[in-house]
Amino acid sequence: MTMTIASLWRHPIKAVGREAVSEAALSPGETFPGDRLWAILHEAGTAVDGEWSRCPNFIRAASSPALMAVEAKSVGDRIELRHPDRPTITVDPVADETTLIDWLTPLVGEGRAAPVKVVRSGARGMTDAQEPTISVGNLASLRDLSERAGTDLSEHRFRCNVWLDGLAPWEEFEWVGKSLRLGTSQVEVIERIGRCQSTAASPETGERDVRTLDVLDTFGHRDFTVGVVVKAPGTLKLGDTAVLA
């Protein structure tokens, strides 16, 4: 069975926006290029520039579902952000911090800690895991999950970096501890990724519309997609082959 890279995504600001890319260069010890370069600290959180910090310190779609509907587009060194309920803006996340915070504030859930500061990640993106992981999803598993949910679930609910096609459903869970070649890069699959309430929100509207965690519970777990770390550098692009090494 031939596996191919079906789509590639980065999320320049943690929990805020998604952006499609056609190729990427992976390096050991680093996350997906351009992914989670910034995170938005809330008033109850603690974090400093250049250091990885746990996700509860930042605004998240798990508690603010409207964030799921943000789309991003890189424009030089700036980022264009779009949302169905907000005007489109183009910002430098650091230089235009106040503008960005003001734009995000109405999207934060009622009663939740307000956004107060932009935090810049260090040599690696501000991903959820302490290890510098890249998330890899299986479109066959997504189709199976959609069938159980009774509706087509967008891949954007899961904010993956790499989506593969050509696998059997849930085959990726058998890869933990194994090596995988993505394009010319080599990665090791280190974990199954547990999912949270953010996946219940529509990426189109930002409103919760599917009880995704309840659907996952029917499998006896709440895991979906896997996390990998880069072991050997290389490039990957749309249409490239993925194989177990």
Q: What is the pLDDT of residues 17-26, one digit of tens each?
A: 999 999 999 9
Domain ranges across the chain: 3-31+129-244, 38-120
Q: pLDDT exceeding 90 applies to what percent of the chain?
A: 96
3 state SS of 24: strand
- The mean per-residue pLDDT over the stretch 149-168 comes to 97
Q: What is the distance between the alpha carbons of residues 86 and 24, in angstroms, rounded to a whole number?
A: 30
Q: What confidence score (pLDDT) does residue 239 get? A: 97
Q: What is the distance between the alpha carbons of residues 132 and 193, in angstroms, rounded to a whole number?
A: 13
pTM of the model: 0.95
Q: What confidence score (pLDDT) does residue 2 get? A: 81
Task: Kindly report, residue by residue over 194-216, the tens digit of the pLDDT.
Answer: 999 999 999 999 999 999 999 99
3 state SS of 162: strand
- The mean per-residue pLDDT over the stretch 210-228 comes to 97
What sign has the CA pseudo-torsion 231, 56, 70, 158?
Answer: positive
Q: What is the distance between the alpha carbons of residues 61 and 39, in angstroms, rounded to a whole number?
A: 12
HSE-up of 129 (CA within 13 Å, CB side)? 18
On whether the CB atoms of residues 70 and 107 are closer than 8 A, the answer is: yes
Q: pLDDT exceeding 70 applies to what percent of the chain?
A: 100
**Average per-residue pLDDT for the chain:** 96
Q: What confidence score (pLDDT) does residue 245 get? A: 81
Integer angstrom CA distances of residue 14 from 59, 86, 174: 8, 18, 28
On whether the CB atoms of residues 4 and 239 are closer than 8 A, the answer is: yes
Q: What confidence score (pLDDT) does residue 123 get? A: 80
Q: What is the distance between the alpha carbons of residues 126 and 206, in angstroms, rounded to a whole number?
A: 22
Q: What is the distance between the alpha carbons of residues 221 and 65, in angstroms, rounded to a whole number?
A: 22
Class of residue 82 by CB neighbours under 10 A (exposed 0-12, middle 13-18, buried 19+): middle
- The model's confidence at residue 1, banded by pLDDT at 50, 70 and 90, is low
Choosing among 3.20.20.70, 1.20.120.80, 1.10.600.10, 2.40.33.20, the CATH entry for 3-31+129-244 is 2.40.33.20
pLDDT above 80: residue 98? yes
- The mean per-residue pLDDT over the stretch 5-27 comes to 97
Length of the chain, in residues: 245
Neighbours of 147 (CB within 10 A): 13
Q: What confidence score (pLDDT) does residue 63 get? A: 96
Q: What is the distance between the alpha carbons of residues 164 and 240, in angstroms, rounded to a whole number?
A: 10
- The mean per-residue pLDDT over the stretch 88-102 comes to 97
3 state SS of 17: coil
